[in-house]
């Protein structure tokens, strides 16, 4: 029962997120935001997560998954309400910050639950399923959101996101974690900080985190300047949603084979293929500025992203010390959050100074450099 509820909650979160994230930079632009401010609006999604991901991971280990997810569901609902009534950039930022906190709580809570499963094969399949339902949500969401905007306006899309958020109340049926409940009285921040310090000096953990950062930095352009770039090619919201959904659909399909890939190949070659295809796909976006070019680009990005996400979760799960599942997933999410914060803000400055195509060039170079680093340094 708990496993199914975790998957349902993850699906709801990512479907709601999928509807909203391609529309945020577009509505920010409609509200008068310049490229640098669009980057800030998108980046605010990651603001709280940057500081809270590790503490939240620790709190999952101490207080249990259910308590964290319940708070996340109500934050998600609150964000949807603010977004529905927002008519200024400031209100849009508030919605983004609240949604980012909800996203943090959902991701760390669900990943910690899977990481704590006793059977190793169940952990591999669990991360694959978690990534699969996330990819399905991100495939359906942008298409649904784009169609709703074209036919009924932004308010209809944001109303749909609120209704979907309410479905997350299924979390109330989740059974309490009795082991975590016993740990509440013993919680202290000092041992957690010491454990983080031990984790971040492990070479393999460092390289997995660098790998995660680079992939997310590039892929995060889909929620910031890819929609804006596609609009410059005279593509409407429905077309933009369809292209972004194609990226998520590709990621979804490749995740069906994730467990098989892990059984056949070592981790290093899978990491290398992921960085290569994401780097090349990101480079192709401005080089082939057309619907066909964008489709081919997001195909490559989706393939690499589809493998990279569950791979980094699995590798960190394999490297974690006993009793630190929430902590290491919180550390991973901190790095991912840093990427999602730096990517739109940094890309916004690049767009302001050099032009929108250079945001894609810079992200491509970063990913390919990390691929080279993995070749020569990852053991």
Containing domain of residue 35, as a range? 2-176+190-377
In this structure, is residue 264 part of a structural domain? yes
φ/ψ (deg, to 5) at 320: -70, 145
In this structure, is residue 184 part of a structural domain? no
Count of domains in the chain?
Answer: 1
In this structure, is residue 285 part of a structural domain? yes
- In whole angstroms, give the CA distance from residue 153 to residue 42: 20
Burial of 199 (0-12, 13-18, 19+ CB in 10 A): buried
Q: What is the pLDDT along the chain (379 residues), one digit of tens a residue?
A: 577 788 788 888 888 888 888 888 888 888 888 878 888 888 888 777 777 766 766 677 667 777 888 888 898 899 999 988 888 888 999 998 998 888 888 877 887 777 777 666 667 677 777 777 777 787 788 888 888 988 888 889 989 999 988 888 887 777 765 444 444 445 455 566 666 667 666 778 888 889 999 999 999 898 888 888 888 888 888 888 888 888 878 887 887 787 788 888 888 889 899 999 999 999 999 988 788 888 899 999 999 998 888 888 888 877 766 666 667 777 787 888 889 888 988 998 999 899 999 999 999 999 999 988 888 877 6
In this structure, is residue 183 part of a structural domain? no
- In whole angstroms, give the CA distance from residue 243 to residue 223: 12
- In whole angstroms, give the CA distance from residue 35 to residue 343: 13
Look-up: residue for tokens 């949807």? 80
Q: Is pTM, for the whole model, over 0.75? A: no
CATH (domain of 345): 1.20.1250.20
In this structure, is residue 185 part of a structural domain? no
Locate 64 and state its tokens. Answer: 């249990």
């Amino acid at each position: 029962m708990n496993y199914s509820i975790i998957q349902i909650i993850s699906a709801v979160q990512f479907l709601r997120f999928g509807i909203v994230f391609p529309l945020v930079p577009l509505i920010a632009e409609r509200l008068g935001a310049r490229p640098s401010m669009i980057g800030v609006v998108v980046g605010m999604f990651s603001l709280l997560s940057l500081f809270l991901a590790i503490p939240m991971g620790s709190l999952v280990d101490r207080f249990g998954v259910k308590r964290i997810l319940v708070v996340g569901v109500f934050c998600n609902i609150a964000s949807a309400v603010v977004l529905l009534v927002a008519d200024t950039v400031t209100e849009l930022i508030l919605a983004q910050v609240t949604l980012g906190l909800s996203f943090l709580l959902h991701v760390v809570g669900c990943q910690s639950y899977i990481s704590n499963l006793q059977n190793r094969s169940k952990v591999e399949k669990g991360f694959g399923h978690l990534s699969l339902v996330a990819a399905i949500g991100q495939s359906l969401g942008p298409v649904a959101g784009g169609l709703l905007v074209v036919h009924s306006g932004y308010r209809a899309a944001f109303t749909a996101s609120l209704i979907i958020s309410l479905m997350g109340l299924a979390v109330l049926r989740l059974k309490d974690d009795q082991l975590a409940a016993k740990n509440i009285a013993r919680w202290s921040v000092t041992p957690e900080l010491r454990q983080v310090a031990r984790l971040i000096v492990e070479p393999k953990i460092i390289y997995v985190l660098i790998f995660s950062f680079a992939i997310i930095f590039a892929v995060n352009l889909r929620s910031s300047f890819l929609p804006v770039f596609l609009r410059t090619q005279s593509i409407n919201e429905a077309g933009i949603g369809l292209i972004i959904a194609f990226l998520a659909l590709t990621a979804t399909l490749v995740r069906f084979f994730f467990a098989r890939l892990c059984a056949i190949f070592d981790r290093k070659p899978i990491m290398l293929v992921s960085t290569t295809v994401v780097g090349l796909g990101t480079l192709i976006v401005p080089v082939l500025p057309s619907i066909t070019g964008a489709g081919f680009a997001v195909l490559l990005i989706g393939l690499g992203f589809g493998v990279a996400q569950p791979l980094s979760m699995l590798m960190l799960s394999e490297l974690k010390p006993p009793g630190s599942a929430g902590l290491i997933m919180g550390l991973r999410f901190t790095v991912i959050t840093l990427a999602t914060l730096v990517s739109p803000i940094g890309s916004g400055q690049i767009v302001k100074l050099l032009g929108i195509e250079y945001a894609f060039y810079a992200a491509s170079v970063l990913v390919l450099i990390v691929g080279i680093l993995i070749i020569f340094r990852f053991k």
